[in-house]
């Protein structure tokens, strides 16, 4: 493999990894705060893509579609938490698993009912002709994915480190009772983290849409996001990002070196190895949490 | 200021508190004594709203608060420093204190809180960028108390602040409790360490199996041989 091929693979691994990282963040943020893992998160990615498609078909420009989609998805996440999850927080883990899974299926099938299994393009406001740097070709869509992910991660880091609401979310994830005794509304924090998680999932859908087209299966990448979250330790936000990027690279390079069959298997090989060697992930700490 | 009447509360089907009444006057310091399992922690949790009351009432300044949620009761100035401290271990000392001022209405109020807590516990100013989980037991207790003091509570409920600490550290904590009380904050102090509490508190209540077994001033309780031996374990 020559250097320019390697560079090109590195970059495309980075961009697919960025998508995995986003969806892993969308899983981990509400999980850390509320202890509920949203098994329907993949369909939130799908939902985001279709919200963007609808707004785009209504004639809105891309730069309006993106923030509006995030807003609508955030409100949808908040509504899901209020209407369903809040009533289930004290239910057995398995009930929650099934409930979130079912919710995801409902969303996906509702979408399928309306749009069928067609592929729709999501137009982007820039040329998708590859940029050439010497012999390295870079797809501008991938650059946009990486840029948007970097911006989101920086904004999130600043939010959790410096803002009052972000600190309250960290407090709730560390000790709910103590957070209540500080006057923090734990229910409000749950809602907010579901809003954030769903909005980030939707962003992943928007960013991924130009790569694959929009179809009801776009959210299937959730499985990779689970692997990414496990690599990162499932309770660490930096871990989710690192796990996503690592998985993107591993997949891309194993695909290039050993063919596309291995590409799809590699994520699960990594998952099994990770669970055998370091079950708490790269950044995780031991401790029983409900799943 | 705080008036608990016939309070019944517990976990699951069993009632831990079986009709407890007590009062804390404005500016007063009331001790809450009794053996392990008597219901001291349950009482504190029921008052602060972490645990639902089955019957009876809790009034703060004459206002019933037993139907309010914990985060609403905090806003009235009734603060609970729980047993086991319940700090945010992966946040710094400063961030823990900021959480204590979560309901502050201005930056100035937060700054005043920092100034007050740093005066009471200078070590917390020194350690402000350390993670709370990395502090010693005594420092963690100081942080837990300091966190509750950020917004000048009117009543502070302390649950076993001396547990697991060395005598010298306990001296320091009790000196601060005395000082906070002298500055006008009413205190309800739940402790197993009867001798220290009786020396400090204006009056005390002894719980036994979820009921009030005895109450009175330190002198009164110590003068009663039955109380001394049965409930206080003093001879």
CB contact under 8 A, A167 and B147: no
Upper half-sphere CA count for residue B30 (Cβ side, 13 Å): 25
d(CA B47, CA B182): 23
B51 plus B2 within the same structural domain: yes
CB contact under 8 A, A181 and B50: yes
Residues 6+ apart with CB under 8 A from A140: A126, A127, A128, A129, A130, A131
Q: Give chain B positions within 8 Å (CB) of A181.
A: 48, 50, 70, 74, 79-80, 82, 86, 148
Q: In this complex, is the C-beta atom of A237 within 8 Å of any C-beta atom belonging to chain B?
A: no
Q: Which pLDDT band, with edges at 50, 70 and 90, does A286 fall under?
A: low
Token pair of B198 as six digits: 């009786």
B49 plus B160 within the same structural domain: yes
B66 plus B29 within the same structural domain: yes
B60 plus B158 within the same structural domain: yes
Count of Cβ atoms closer than 10 Å to residue A220 Cβ = 15
Q: In this complex, is the C-beta atom of B86 within 8 Å of any C-beta atom belonging to chain A?
A: yes
- For chain B, give the percent of residues with pLDDT over 70: 99
Tell me if residue A105 falls in helix, strand or coil. Answer: helix
CB contact under 8 A, B95 and A167: yes
B35 plus B64 within the same structural domain: yes
User: Which structural domain, as residue segments, surrounds residue B95?
Assistant: 87-152
ipTM score of complex: 0.92
Report, as an integer, the average pLDDT of B97-106.
Answer: 94
Length of chain B: 235
Residue in A174, A183, A185 nearest the CB of B91: A174
B73 plus B101 within the same structural domain: no
CB contact under 8 A, B91 and A180: no
Distance from CA of A95 to the nearest CA of B (A): 21
In a domain, B82, yes or no: no
B49 plus B162 within the same structural domain: yes
Q: Give chain A positions within 8 Å (CB) of B75.
A: 183
Q: How many CB pairs under 8 A join A and B?
A: 66
Residue B45 has phi, psi (to 5 degrees) of -70, -35
**Is the pLDDT score of A259 beyond 60?**
yes
pLDDT in tens, A139-196: 999 999 999 999 999 999 999 999 999 999 999 999 999 999 999 999 999 999 999 9
Q: In this complex, is the C-beta atom of A179 within 8 Å of any C-beta atom belonging to chain B?
A: yes
In a domain, B33, yes or no: yes
pLDDT in tens, B176-201: 999 999 999 999 999 988 888 988 99
Of B11, B22, B12, the closest CA to residue B214 belongs to B22
Tell me if residue A179 falls in helix, strand or coil. Answer: helix
Distance from CA of B79 to the nearest CA of A (A): 7
Token pair of B158 as six digits: 């302390």
B141 plus B193 within the same structural domain: no
Distance from CA of B98 to the nearest CA of A (A): 9
Task: For tokens 């209407």, name the residue.
Answer: A83
Chain A residue closest in CA terms to B51: A177
Q: In what order do the strands lie in the sheet with B29-33?
A: B78-81, B155-159, B186-190, B29-33, B203-208, B211-216
In a domain, B176, yes or no: yes
Residue in B71, B88, B95 nearest the CB of A180: B71
In a domain, B181, yes or no: yes
């Amino acid at each position: 493999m020559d250097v320019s091929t390697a560079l090109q693979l590195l970059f495309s691994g980075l961009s697919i990894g960025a998508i995995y990282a986003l969806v892993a963040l969308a899983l981990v943020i509400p999980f850390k705060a509320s202890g509920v893992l949203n098994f329907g998160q993949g369909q939130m990615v799908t939902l985001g893509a279709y919200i963007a498609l609808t707004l785009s078909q209504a004639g809105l420009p891309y730069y309006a579609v993106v923030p509006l989609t995030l807003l609508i998805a955030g409100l949808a996440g908040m509504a899901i938490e209020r209407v369903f999850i809040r009533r289930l927080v004290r239910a057995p883990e398995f009930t929650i698993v099934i409930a979130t899974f079912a919710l995801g299926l409902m969303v996906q099938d509702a979408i399928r009912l309306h749009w069928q299994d067609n592929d729709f393009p999501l137009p982007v406001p820039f040329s998708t002709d590859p940029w050439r740097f010497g012999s390295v070709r870079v797809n501008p869509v991938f650059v946009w994915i990486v840029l948007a992910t970097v911006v989101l991660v920086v904004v999130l880091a600043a939010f959790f480190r410096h803002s009052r609401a972000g600190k309250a979310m960290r407090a709730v994830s560390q000790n709910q009772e103590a957070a209540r005794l500080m006057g923090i509304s734990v229910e409000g924090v749950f809602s907010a983290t579901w809003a954030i998680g769903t909005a980030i999932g939707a962003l992943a859908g928007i960013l991924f849409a130009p790569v694959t087209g929009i179809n009801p299966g776009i959210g299937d990448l959730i499985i990779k996001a689970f692997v990414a979250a496990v690599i990162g330790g499932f309770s660490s936000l930096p871990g989710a990002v690192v796990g996503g990027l690592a998985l993107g690279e591993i997949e891309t390079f194993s695909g290039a070196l050993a063919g596309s069959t291995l590409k799809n298997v590699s994520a699960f090989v990594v998952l099994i190895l990770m669970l055998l060697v370091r079950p708490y992930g790269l950044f995780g700490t031991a401790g029983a949490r409900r799943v | 200021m705080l008036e608990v009447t016939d309070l019944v509360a517990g976990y699951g089907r069993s009632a831990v508190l079986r009709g407890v009444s007590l009062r804390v006057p404005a500016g007063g310091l009331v001790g809450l004594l009794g053996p392990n399992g008597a219901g001291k922690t349950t009482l504190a949790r029921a008052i602060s709203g972490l645990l639902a009351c089955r019957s009876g009432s809790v009034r703060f300044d004459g206002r019933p608060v037993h139907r309010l949620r914990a985060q609403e009761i905090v806003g009235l100035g009734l603060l609970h420093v729980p047993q086991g401290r319940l700090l945010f271990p992966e946040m710094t000392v400063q961030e823990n204190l900021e959480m204590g001022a979560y309901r502050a209405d201005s930056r100035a109020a937060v700054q005043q809180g920092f100034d007050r807590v740093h005066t009471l516990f200078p070590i917390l100013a020194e350690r402000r960028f350390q993670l709370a989980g990395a502090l010693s037991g005594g420092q963690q207790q100081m942080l837990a108390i300091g966190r509750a003091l950020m917004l000048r509570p009117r009543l502070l409920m302390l649950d076993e602040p001396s547990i697991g600490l060395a005598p010298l550290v306990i001296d320091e904590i009790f000196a601060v409790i005395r000082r906070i009380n002298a500055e006008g904050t009413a205190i309800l102090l739940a402790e197993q360490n009867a001798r220290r509490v009786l020396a400090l508190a204006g009056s005390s209540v002894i719980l036994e199996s979820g009921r009030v077994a005895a109450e009175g001033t330190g002198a009164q309780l110590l003068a009663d041989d039955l109380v001394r031996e049965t409930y206080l374990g003093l001879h």
